Amino acid sequence: MTLATGTCSNISKMQRSRGFTLLEVMLVVLLMGLMAAAVTLSIGGGNQQQQLLREAQRFVAVTETLADEAVLSGQFVGVVIDKNAYRYVIYLDDKWQPLQRDNLLGEHTLPAGISTDLQVEGLPLDQEEEQASLFGDDKPFDQRQQKQRHPEPQIMLLPSGEMSSFELTFIASGGDQPYEQLVSGDNLGRMTLGSFDESD
């Protein structure tokens, strides 16, 4: 009887350790929906505008999910935006670390021909200039390497539910004319496609 009880307890522990977190399940469902939309659009002859919309919707959905987790966990989460990619980081052990719980939260490289333009708190940010100032010659080499491994996010998701106010524009420049899709976020933690003035 003791052996059976111990065996059941071990199986129960193994089953719990193999389970998925709520965040992982939500992200899988979310991305399955986005992929289904992508297939539908491609069958219907989707164009660059539709591709931009998909990328913007993906960014909003994943970022909103992580903003909710930041509130629930009490941890600081951030978004590092590059010209052709973005990734999520979390503040642990006194430094920003990549949020690589699974492939869904790893670095997302934008499709060829799509780039980003970011303004935070109304000010334009040039990622290359920002890196040059962070890793300038006045810093020791090991500190510059540390900054490169653990870049500071431009967009902050706070445990209070607030976030950095930003405007992120996805730009497609490969076709006959450039197309743009704006994503806006405000200090209250709200995000919308387009600007808040347009959504009102």
Give me the DSSP letters along the chain. -HHHHHHHHHHHHHHHHT---HHHHHHHHHHHHHHHHHHHHHHTT--HHHHHHHHHHHHHHHHHHHHHHHHHHT--EEEEE-SSEEEEEEEETTEEEE--SSGGGS-EEPPTTEEEEEEETTEEE-HHHHHHHHT-TTS-HHHHHHHHHSPPPSEEE-TTS-B--EEEEEEE-SSSS-EEEEEEE-TTS-EEES-HHHH-
**Per residue in 53-70, pLDDT tens?**
999 999 999 999 999 999
**Mean pLDDT to the nearest integer, 144-154:** 68
**Mean pLDDT to the nearest integer, 31-37:** 65
pLDDT computed for residue 99 by the predictor: 85
Q: What is the domain extent for residue 17?
A: 2-199
**Mean pLDDT to the nearest integer, 128-147:** 48
**Per residue in 66-108, pLDDT tens?**
999 999 999 999 999 999 999 999 999 889 999 876 667 789 9
pTM above 0.75, yes or no: no
pLDDT computed for residue 15 by the predictor: 42
pLDDT computed for residue 146 by the predictor: 53
CA–CA distance, 78 with 88 (Å, rounded to integer): 6
Q: Residue 186 sits in a domain of what CATH number?
A: 3.55.40.10
Q: Which residue has the higher pLDDT, 117 or 6?
A: 117
How many structural domains compose the chain? 1
Highest mean pLDDT among 26-40, 71-85, 88-102, 146-160: 71-85
Residue corresponding to tokens 């966990």: 73
CA–CA distance, 52 with 116 (Å, rounded to integer): 11
Range with lowest mean pLDDT among 5-9, 75-79, 186-190: 5-9
pLDDT computed for residue 169 by the predictor: 97
